[in-house]
Amino acid sequence: MARYADPGVTEWVESGGGPLIAVPEAVLPFWTGADGDEVSSDYDRACDIDGSIGLLPVGDTRALVLGDEPASTAYLPEYGTFVRWCAANSEDELLAEMPGALESALWGTEVEWRVPGAVVLFDAAWPGDGSGRTDRLRVELEPGRYGVRAAYVSAGPETWLGLVQLRRLAP
């Protein structure tokens, strides 16, 4: 796992060039990544997502694809948001912009994501049962419904970040 500041402060996940995916831990073995005998692999399906976010069936639930660009990504539980490092001189600079970025964001269309609990964020090319061999991040989520929305924010002349916010919805 890539870390750009003090160890354990903020954990960042990177991909080899494709999308990142947040797969519910309960169905992790069902994600085959770029492997598989089918014409279209799970990774291919993730790459077909058009836009910043999308949902794909995995087992009896769905996974969240973080599309568009393969930016380093962290989850900030205090904001309920995945932050994507598009451009910044330092991690401190990027993270300092979070409150203003969330306030000024022009959010895209929200999708509803039902999760059975914790999810694991990793490079969509890896199979779920092999994701332990790559950058990955376990994100604790309460089971239930979430509204998911995305935005790109220019927080300064040299600071750009992508946001994917999870908002808990009423049952």
- Res 15: pLDDT: 87
Q: What average pLDDT does this structure show over 84-107?
A: 93
- Res 8: pLDDT: 52
Q: Are 18 and 124 in contact (CB under 8 A)?
A: yes
- Res 29: pLDDT: 94
Amino acid letter for position 146: Y
Enter the pTM of the model. 0.90
Q: Are 163 and 101 in contact (CB under 8 A)?
A: yes
- Res 69: pLDDT: 80
What DSSP string runs through 109-129?
Answer: --EEEEESS-EEEEETTS-GG
Task: Decide which of 158 and 112 is more confident.
Answer: 112
Domain parsing of the chain, residue ranges:
20-168
Is residue 7 helix, strand or coil?
Answer: coil
Q: Lowest mean pLDDT: which of 15-19, 72-76, 108-112?
A: 15-19
Please tell me the distance from the alpha carbon of residue 102 to that of residue 153, in angstroms, as a whole number: 8
Q: What average pLDDT does this structure show over 95-104?
A: 94
Q: What is the pLDDT of residues 35-82, one digit of tens each?
A: 866 678 999 999 999 889 999 999 999 999 998 788 899 999 999 999
